[in-house]
Every structure is written in structure tokens, then in C-alpha cells.
Chains A and B, each alone.
Chain A
Amino acid sequence: MPFQPLPDAIRALVHDGDTVAMEGFTHLIPFAAAHELIRQQRRELTLVRMTPDLIFDQLIGMGVAKALTFSWGGNPGVGSLHRLRDAVEHQWPRPITLDEHSHAALASAWDAGAANLPFAVLRGYVGVDLPKVNPAIRSVTCPYTGEQLATVPALRPDVTVIHAQRADRAGNVLLEGIIGVQKQAVLAAKRALVTVEEVVDDFGPRSLNATILPAWTLSAVCVVPGGAFPSYAQGYYRRDNAFYLAWDEIARDRDTFLRWMTANVLDKTAEDFARHRRVA
């Protein structure tokens, strides 16, 4: 059975120095799993995520990461990620190396990773400066047309962590709504950990094309109701936009941030997320 308590799964699957992807495009962001990583004091991680968001602000501010692969690092609709900025601008709490891309490139890199290709090809990065500062962005000549096309290395993380709506008793996982790059990120990774809102006997009536990750593609499934809060789980709870607005103040100052992390992460457990789950 793939079901495991979250602390055990994190201990078994995520090691110091690993490349760790935590995906979820605004929706289904695996906050509970990230908090467990912070509590277990993982170090020297290379973090991967298209949209770093609050979850990476917290991980970076707590000194978990040595490097970051990303394509947009902000608090959507609010402004900066202050902890990410502090790490880049002032090397606090430690220096961080950036591997920066555009969304189109990273989405393609996930697709290539899942497809077991060494790199992705795209019509991208034309006339812009990112290729001048990121040596991983290169180009290839099309063997059929002679066109120059941009390339980026495929993403192949050691472990991908995602959150989903539900698993069945066999550990198959269904996700729906804004599905982002999660399917690609799971299939591109050596190991995959999924937290879910609930376990159901049967997925019930569903689209014949529902997005389902078979149990045999996953290393661990952890039942963590509310585990995507303050992002959201479609059909369970809404995005807490008020918290995203409040984070701007919390994260602006190092001491305020550390106090918040102590009270809300270090002194808590994954079960504490349950209060955010579906209100009937």
C-alpha cells in the first residue's frame, strides 16, 4: 500500500541535497508537505517550481534551498516574495543560485522530462535577455527547416511533491480543476509524493478523461486534509486571498517572518491543516 503518514514519507523520499519539485499552478499547492520539510530541517535542496509563491518564500526564508529553478517568483496579484528577494539581494539567510526561465520554457521542460527526452524545444526567448544570463538556455537548428529554435534541459527531479483532491483505496490519485504541470512533474521525477484531501471507496461518476495518476506511478500517498491551504482545492475549499494579502506584511521583516514560522510551522503538525478542509 502506498499510504504513509506525511512525516514518514518525507523522511524516506526527500534527502539533503536532492532536487525537489513542488508544483501546483496557484491551485493545489502542497503547503503541508513543505512545512514538514521545514520541520525536518532538510538542507542544500535545489527547489523547482514554475511559480515559487508563498510556499517557496517560506522554504527559502528558512534556509532549506541552495538553488532555485523557476519562471515567475512573486505573490500573485500582491507583489514581491520578500524572503526570495532577501535571499537574492542580501544572501539572507544564505545565498541562493537562480536558474531562471520563462513559463513556456519550463512547461516544455516538464513535458520533455515526462517524455524521457533530454531537452525541450520551443519558439521562445526571441530577442530577450534571459539567455544571456542563463547558460542552460541554448538553441538547436531544425534538421527539416533550418530554423533556429530555443532549447532548455528537461526537468528530471529526484522527487516531485504535489497535492491532489482524492485517492481511492488502491492509492490511485485524481486531480481536477487547474491541473498545471502536476502530471508531467510526477512522471518526470524519480520519486513522487502526493498529499490528498481524502480517501474514497470509489471515484464515482467522472469524465472518461479525468486526470488520474495510477498508484504505481507514485512512491507515497499521504492523507492530509486541508494540505493545500492557503492555496485551494477545487471542490473542497477556496483560495484564502486575504492570507495572500496578509503575507506581504508577515514576510517583509525577518523577525516577523521567523516568529510566524515558529508559531505556525515549527510548533505545528500536518494534522493542523485539517481545520482548513471542506466546510460542509
Chain B
Amino acid sequence: MTPATPTEVMTVVAARALRSSDVCFVGIGAPSAACNLARLTHAPGITLIYESGTIGTEPQVLPLSIGDGELCETALTTVSVPEMFRYWLQGGRITVGFLGGAQIDRFANLNTTVVGPYARPKVRLPGGGGAPEIAALCQQVFITMSLGARAFVPMLDFITSLGHGTGGDHRARLGLTTRGPTRVITDGCVLEPDPETKELTVTSLHEGVTREQVQAKCGWPLRFAPQLPTTPTPGAGELEVLRALHERTDRAHRGSPS
């Protein structure tokens, strides 16, 4: 078996953050791969929820959209979108929200709306979708995205989804009782908010990755935990399941539907 790519390491490490007892609101893209890998390996009991209303879905291939038929066909039940957001998310039933993003800052706030000013954007991104309320209302939030100086920026052009705001007890001062982002899983390291300041701190480096390499792909001066272990590497079993999942998915999406 060929060694894991940085993206595969990111997906496996992100998957490991989930537990079988979690009820997880799944964002599209990288989070979807991680959540389904968790379900197919160490967390078979996990409940995966997509914003299209599918509860307890068990897709055999990764959905391209958050509303592929596969999600509905394999779900325990499918509810309307108002019910999903009002009863299940706002109702406080979700233990983990799993998000990606275009840009993140040092307090794990996310931007998926615009690059440049809102009225005259340089790049118009898709927008918030479910993310603003997922970030606010799930009991905790995991974020997964690849490192890069254009993604990990000192200042966001737009706060689409609240992480820890300006740090410290900002969330609590806004009346939120949820924990917010507790872990950011990248292709080079894992970051966690400092218990007091809430600034993202590198808490483990992936195998073969240096502090300098991680810093070069981040737009603000990073803090590193005093004890900096190596992230446990992906096991052969995890990689095998992930690669099979991606193979099935590619076959399904490139092929003709009928």
C-alpha cells in the first residue's frame, strides 16, 4: 500500500475525532469523507445528519451534494428542511457540527461569503448555507481544511460563521452556551483553541511535518503547545476503507445516471 497523502492523513485524523455516540451534522466536501470514514471504521453507531433533512444516513458512496438520493434512501428518516433546522439543530439535538471553509482566522471564525468588500467582492463565494447556525448551535464544532496562506488568514473579510469571535469568553458574552470549534484538523497538524484565550494552538504535528512548514502555510504567527506530539499515523485498515470509499464515489459520480 502506498503511504498516505497529506489529504488522506487529514481525513483519517478528522474521522478519529468522532465517536460512535455522536449525532453529527455533516458539512459537504472534506467533512463528509471524514464522517463517513468514521462510520465505516471505529464509529459504526454514529448518526450522520445532512441539512437536506436526512437523519441517520448510511451512504455507500460519498454524496456530491448534500441532497443526493443515496442519502435519503439509506436514512432512518427524512424530514423537511424547516424541521431539520428548527427542531433538530435549534432544538439542541446535535452533538457535533463538522464544517469546512474557504478562510479561517486565529479564533476559528470562518468565511465562506466573499473575498473583498461585500458590496464589490473580488470573489463571490457560495455563502453561509447551514454553517452560521451549525457553528452556533451544535454542542461542539470540528473544522477540517487544508493549510495555506490564503485560507489561514490574519483577518477575515467577512465572518460567515462564528468561531470564538475575538477570543476569550466572546461566545458566552453573546449568549451562546455551546462550545464552538474545539478542533481544527488540517493536512499538516491539529490545532485546538487555548483554554483561556481561545486562540488556535498547534497541538500535534503530522508525521514528517515540521513547525516551519506549518507556519509557512499560515498567515498569522502560530502558537505551538509546549508538548508537541506527532499525530498518530493512519492505520492500513483506515486507509483501505477510505480509498475504497473514494473509488466507489468516483465511479458513481463520473458515470451516467441512467
Q: What's the interface size class on A, roughly?
A: 35 or more
Contact B256 A242 (CB under 8 A): yes
Contact B136 A244 (CB under 8 A): no
Stretch at the interface among A2-10, A30-38, A83-91, A160-168: A83-91
Smallest Cβ distance from A203 to chain B, in angstroms? 18
Of the candidates B28, B72, B160, the one whose C-beta lies within 8 Å of that of A77 is B28
Contact B84 A107 (CB under 8 A): yes
Is B42 in the interface zone, CB < 8 Å from A?
Answer: no
Contact B65 A26 (CB under 8 A): yes
Determine the distance from Cα of A123 to Cα of B137 in the docked complex, in whole angstroms. 8
Contact A242 B254 (CB under 8 A): yes
Known contacts A128-B162, A133-B118; A102/B128 CB under 8 A: yes
Known contacts A127-B162, A178-B54; A80/B81 CB under 8 A: no
Contact B175 A126 (CB under 8 A): yes
Stretch at the interface among A14-22, A67-75, A214-222, A262-270: A67-75
Residues in B whose Cβ lies below 8 Å from that of A93:
none
Contact A130 B160 (CB under 8 A): yes
Of the candidates B121, B127, B257, the one whose C-beta lies within 8 Å of that of A238 is B257
Is A169 in the interface zone, CB < 8 Å from B?
Answer: no
Residues in B whose Cβ lies below 8 Å from that of A89:
121-124
Minimum CB distance partner of A29 in chain B: B67
Determine the distance from Cα of A84 to Cα of B125 in the docked complex, in whole angstroms. 10
Residues in A whose Cβ lies below 8 Å from that of B121:
88-89
Q: What's the interface size class on B, roughly?
A: 35 or more
Contact B80 A237 (CB under 8 A): no
Determine the distance from Cα of A102 to Cα of B162 in the docked complex, in whole angstroms. 13
Determine the distance from Cα of A144 to Cα of B205 in the docked complex, in whole angstroms. 50
Stretch at the interface among A179-187, A189-197, A250-258: A179-187
Of the candidates B53, B124, B165, B255, the one whose C-beta lies within 8 Å of that of A178 is B53
Q: Looking at B28, B51, B127, which has the most chain A CB atoms within 10 Å of its CB?
A: B127
Of the candidates A50, A51, A108, A127, the one whose C-beta lies within 8 Å of that of B165 is A127
Contact B85 A103 (CB under 8 A): yes
Contact B126 A73 (CB under 8 A): yes
Is B154 in the interface zone, CB < 8 Å from A?
Answer: no
Interface string of B128-165 (1 = CB under 8 A from A): 11111100110000000000000000000011111001
Contact A127 B257 (CB under 8 A): no
Is B252 in the interface zone, CB < 8 Å from A?
Answer: yes
Contact A76 B65 (CB under 8 A): yes
Contact B69 A239 (CB under 8 A): yes
Of the candidates B69, B86, B132, B254, the one whose C-beta lies within 8 Å of that of A102 is B132
Determine the distance from Cα of A77 to Cα of B127 in the docked complex, in whole angstroms. 14
Is A25 in the interface zone, CB < 8 Å from B?
Answer: yes
Q: Looking at B52, B80, B119, B175, which has the most chain A CB atoms within 10 Å of its CB?
A: B80
Contact B53 A25 (CB under 8 A): yes
Determine the distance from Cα of A76 to Cα of B252 in the docked complex, in whole angstroms. 16
Residues in A whose Cβ lies below 8 Å from that of B126:
72-74, 80-81
Q: What 6 A-B pairs come out closest when comparing CB atoms?
A: A26-B67, A74-B126, A76-B65, A72-B129, A127-B162, A77-B64
What are 11 A-B pairs with beta-carbon distances under 8 A?
A72-B129, A73-B126, A73-B127, A77-B65, A89-B124, A103-B51, A177-B78, A178-B69, A237-B257, A241-B64, A245-B253
| B contact set with A: CB distance below 8 Å | 28-29, 51-54, 63-69, 71-73, 78, 80-82, 84-86, 89-90, 113, 118-119, 121-133, 136-137, 158-162, 165, 170-171, 174-176, 252-258
